[in-house]
Amino acid sequence: MAVRKQIESTARVLDPLKQKGLSVTGSRRKILQLFMQQKGALSHGDIEKKAGVTFDRVTIYRTLQTFLDKGIIHAIPTADNAVRYALCQDECGPGHHDHQHIHFICSRCKQIFCLDHFVTPDLHLPKGYQAKDVDVLVKGVCKECSAIAKRA
């Protein structure tokens, strides 16, 4: 049972790589795993810390770029000069990202979460401006931190 579970879990990590036509390597497996284990989004720095000294910094940069290109992860804009990345849930593919979910930034724990809540704000742009893509960033207090605050 435990073995079967482990096989499944391994497969779950390998699948996205093979599906996207990527060769399976140590760093790709490890980094993908980190994303899968993680509730929040990860910055390059986060990954470097979590992966330990296992991989060269350059490899992490290149892996993230590859994952972005292939539609395995998406970038989340921030105002702190540290772009975060998170797994794509939707049907993203090479050169094609389409997310309609909110990104929530907790001002207490500093984590960033993808919330699967669709939003299509009524955009009344000035004439001439053509919208292609909308990103909604919400800052506030996340579920866990709210609970902690309530208890205190």
Note the residues at the interface with Zn ion (CB under 5 A).
106, 108-109, 142, 145
Nearest CB to Mn ion, comparing residues 14 and 75: 75
39 is an interface residue for its own copies by CB under 8 A: no
Residues that contact DNA, how many (by CB under 7 A) = 23
Please identify which residue in 12, 39, 57, 139 interacts with DNA, judged by CB under 7 A.
Answer: 57
Looking up tokens 């290149």 gives 62
Token pair, residue 112, equals 């960033």
**What is the spatial distance between Cα 22 and Cα 49, in angstroms, rounded to a whole number?**
24
Give the pair of three-digit tokens for residue 44.
């390059």
The token pair that represents 151 in the structure block: 């208890």
- Which CA distances in Å does 18 have to 10, 14, 21, 32, 118? 12, 6, 5, 12, 29
- Number of other CB atoms surrounding residue 56 within 10 Å: 11
User: Does 58 interact with DNA (rule: CB under 7 A)?
Assistant: yes
Contacts of 66 (CB under 8 A, 6+ apart): 22, 28
Q: Does 76 interact with its own copies (rule: CB under 8 A)?
A: yes
Answer for which of 11, 24, 36, 83 binds its own copies (CB under 8 A) is 83
Residue 6: contacted member of Zn ion, Mn ion, its own copies, none (CB under 5 to 8 Å, by partner type): none
Q: By CB under 8 A, is residue 82 in contact with its own copies?
A: yes
- Interaction between residue 114 and Mn ion (CB under 5 A): yes
Yes or no: say if 83 and 75 are a contact pair by the CB < 8 Å rule. yes
With CA atoms as reference, report the closest residue to 48 among 38, 58, 36.
Answer: 58
Rule CB under 8 A: is residue 91 a binding residue for its own copies?
no
- Binder of residue 37, out of Mn ion, DNA, its own copies, none (CB less than 5 to 8 A by kind): none
The residues that touch DNA, with contacts defined as CB under 7 A, are 22-28, 44-45, 48, 54-59, 61-63, 66, 81-83
